[in-house]
Structure 1
Amino acid sequence: MYEVVRQIPRGCVASYGQVAFLAGNPRGARGVGFAMHRSPEPGGIPCHRVVFKDGGLCGGLAFGGEGIQRALLEEEGVVFLPDGRVDMARCGWLK
């Protein structure tokens, strides 16, 4: 699944379920979350580009604190909806 995440381009996001499906385990979204949290290459795998299917972001403990994931995505040009979720229609990978 790390190889799949490495393929997500800057400015795009994928859901945990999409990553699981593309990695060959269509029911493994939760496992993707655990794998992203335990990434063996901090900074080498763009785990911040993986979000919930509705565009929601991870909780505050991920990425070093509240707002870090959003800041990383905004830096890449990811667009957010007024409620704080990623605009999946505009920034979702492999629509």
Structure 2
Amino acid sequence: MDFNYPSISVPELKGKVTVSRTVKNVGPPRSTYKVRVRSPPGITITVNPSILKFKKSDEEKSFKVTIKPNNDVESQDFVFGELLWSDGIHTVRSPIVVFH
């Protein structure tokens, strides 16, 4: 799987932000990747879909990342997290940086 945009950056989070990404399977056909999210402190992140099933090499799939602040946390600093896509053998990491 190859990421067109390897990192996700939100310069200032004041509400919910949705980011779309497209990935390409550069590995073997019939690959299934599941996402694991390590949310930055004070941030909730959801990914839809959370599973990408590729049927062939070079196939592209899109997903959406929704980033929103937790209501009970106030911050004025950069916070860090990551998305990890894994097929059980390979792992693709996308760092997340949010000014919150």
TM range (shorter): under 0.3
What is the TM-score normalised by the length of structure 1? Answer: 0.26
Q: Would you tell me which structure has more strand in proportion to its own residues?
A: 2
| Structure number with higher relative contact order (C-alpha < 8 Å, ≥ 6 residues apart) | 2
What is the TM-score normalised by the length of structure 2? Answer: 0.26
Q: Would you tell me which structure has more helix in proportion to its own residues?
A: 1
> Quick check: which has more Rg, 1 or 2?
2
